[in-house]
Amino acid sequence: MSRNKKPSIEAGSSGSRRAFLRSSIAAGGALVAGSSSARAQSDTAITQVQDWARRLGKGVDRTAYGQPSPHEKDVVRRHVEWLTPSVQTAVNFTPLHELDGIITPNGLCFERHHAGVAEVEPDKYRLMINGLVERPLVFTLDDLKRFPRRNQINFLECAANTGMEWRGVQLNGCQFTHGMLHNVMYTGVPLRLLFEAAGLKTSARWVMAEGADASAMNRSLPMSKALDDCMIAFKMNGEALRPEQGYPARLVVPGWEGSLWVKWIRRLEIGDEPWHSREETSKYTDLLANGKSRRFTWEMDCKSVITSPSPQAPVKHKRGQTVITGLAWSGRGTIARVDVSLDGGRNWVAARIDGPSLDKSLHRFYYDFDWNGEAVLLQSRAVDSSGYIQPTKAELRQVRGTNSVYHNNSIQTWYLKKNGEVENVEIS
Ligand SMILES: Nc1nc2c(c(=O)[nH]1)N[C@H]1C(S)=C(S)[C@@H](COP(=O)(O)O)O[C@H]1N2
Ligand SMILES: [Mo]
């Protein structure tokens, strides 16, 4: 499947590159002003009074939940037909190419279920803490809402995100290659407070988090992480969790792989060793080149992707001022810098990070450039606050082989063609 495309693109020296950038900024301004002034003389969309200004607008909606403009009807989650044999053991993908900033709107957060969306009744919702505790406890939702709350913005990435690209290029669009990712502000109760209420025994080392859905999805979590920054969330971006995201409550495990973020959470059992459940043995382990499996790859490595231009977000103009934008994130902290390459990784220029730089949260970056209309091999490379540099696909394969599905955090290449179309390619 891999297509080793290597259009010949000149790699300029850094001196001439600086000169190019300087002149391109000036030229970019002129180009935009040029096309805009042509428009000012001939464009009836600005000279004529439009229909929407001739009559009163639609009245205030007095009851309903607000919806996006009908013109945005294509901004939706999508799935890949061959990937999901049933709608219950399924995944869909966040339309990253349509979004900006760092927050994922609730209705666009990708979903991953092992047994469909559990329809939990909030009145009958219960969370139990048992095992190595002084006082086993059962909380209602109202009980949980009486504990002191915390707000935090965190990304959730499924370990399988970009997994289909391990062996070669497969999917044309960052929605499909990178869209098992969302970034949400959660409101909830720190696990530490709930465990204090139950009283941990001195032998308490591990937590088993179990969901109320039919898969009873469960994972083992080390106590140190649980006490550090995990919480039971009941709100996302200010409103109640969506059913798809675990209504009425889910586990938040900042920076760690998505399968640990148990939805519809019903039980936290405290133990002194891990449980080695299905989702941490036969699944969510990494098969290495020597046939051995790596277990407990919890932290999500530093990663980035250009979200536009990208295969689903082609460039519509012929040349001139162009916004390159994307996302960068790391399970180990914040993003220190993002570099962008226009020539498949030979030369790099620093991108501009804009918006909040928060721990274990998506970061938004921009690179504003003057496109000369020629083919470009676009890449982004992130460096996190621990100093870790996002690897190339070749570097990752050297260490991990090609048997893996999970934890592919390699640099993505988009081939921007002269006609503005963008294709997913791999360069060697
Ligand atoms: N109870 C339960 N929790 C679950 C799952 C599940 O199937 N059941 N899927 C897990 C996986 S594999 C991922 S990647 C995330 C996905 O979270 P999302 O659906 O909010 O995107 O939830 C995790 N929590
Ligand atoms: Mo996942």
Cα(32)–Cα(45) distance, integer angstroms: 18
Q: What is the pLDDT of residue 34?
A: 54
Cα(166)–Cα(171) distance, integer angstroms: 11
Q: Which ligand is nearest to the CA of 113?
A: 1
Asked whether 248 and 122 are in contact (CB, 8 A), the reply is: yes
Q: Which ligand is nearest to the CA of 77?
A: 1
User: Each residue's pLDDT tens digit in the chain (428 positions)?
Assistant: 344 444 333 333 333 333 333 333 334 444 454 577 778 778 899 999 999 999 999 999 889 999 999 999 999 999 998 888 788 889 999 999 999 999 999 999 999 999 999 999 999 999 999 999 999 999 999 999 999 999 999 999 999 999 999 989 999 999 999 999 999 999 999 999 999 999 999 999 999 999 999 999 999 999 999 999 999 999 999 999 999 999 999 999 999 999 999 999 999 999 999 999 988 988 888 888 888 888 899 999 999 999 999 999 999 999 999 999 999 999 999 999 999 999 999 999 999 999 999 999 999 999 999 999 999 999 999 999 999 999 999 999 999 988 888 999 999 999 999 999 999 999 97
- 290 Cα to the center of ligand 1, angstroms: 30
Please name which of 344, 111, 153 lies closest in space to residue 244, comparing C-alpha atoms.
111
| Same fold: 78-168+181-294 with 303-425 | no
CA distances from 254 to 111, 186, 202, 227, 320 (A): 17, 11, 25, 12, 40
Q: Which CATH superfamily is domain 78-168+181-294 in?
A: Oxidoreductase, molybdopterin-binding domain (3.90.420.10)
Q: Which ligand is nearest to the CA of 253?
A: 1
For the CA of 215, the closest atom of ligand 1 is: 8
For the CA of 111, the closest atom of ligand 1 is: 19
Please name which of 225, 166, 171 lies closest in space to residue 195, comparing C-alpha atoms.
225
pTM, two decimal places:
0.91
Asked whether 361 and 155 are in contact (CB, 8 A), the reply is: yes
What would the CATH number be for the domain defined by 303-425? 2.60.40.650
Asked whether 192 and 258 are in contact (CB, 8 A), the reply is: no
For the CA of 118, the closest atom of ligand 1 is: 1
Boundaries of every domain in the chain: 78-168+181-294, 303-425
- 201 Cα to the center of ligand 1, angstroms: 29
For the CA of 211, the closest atom of ligand 1 is: 1
Inter-residue long-range contacts of 398-402, CB under 8 Å, 24+ positions, other chains counted:
400/286, 400/288, 400/289, 401/287, 401/288, 401/289, 401/290, 402/166, 402/167, 402/289
Please tell me the residue having the least CA distance from ligand 1 atom 21: 111
Cα(97)–Cα(95) distance, integer angstroms: 5
CA distances from 183 to 56, 110, 152, 365, 409 (A): 37, 10, 10, 15, 17
Number of H helices, E strands in the chain: 7, 23
Cα(101)–Cα(353) distance, integer angstroms: 10
- 121 Cα to the center of ligand 1, angstroms: 19
In the block, residue with structure tokens 């403009």: 69
Asked whether 394 and 365 are in contact (CB, 8 A), the reply is: no
Reading the block at residue 34, the tokens are 């040029």
Q: What is the pLDDT of residue 117?
A: 96
- Hey, how many other C-beta atoms are within 10 angstroms of the C-beta on 11? 13
- 194 Cα to the center of ligand 1, angstroms: 22
- 127 Cα to the center of ligand 2, angstroms: 22
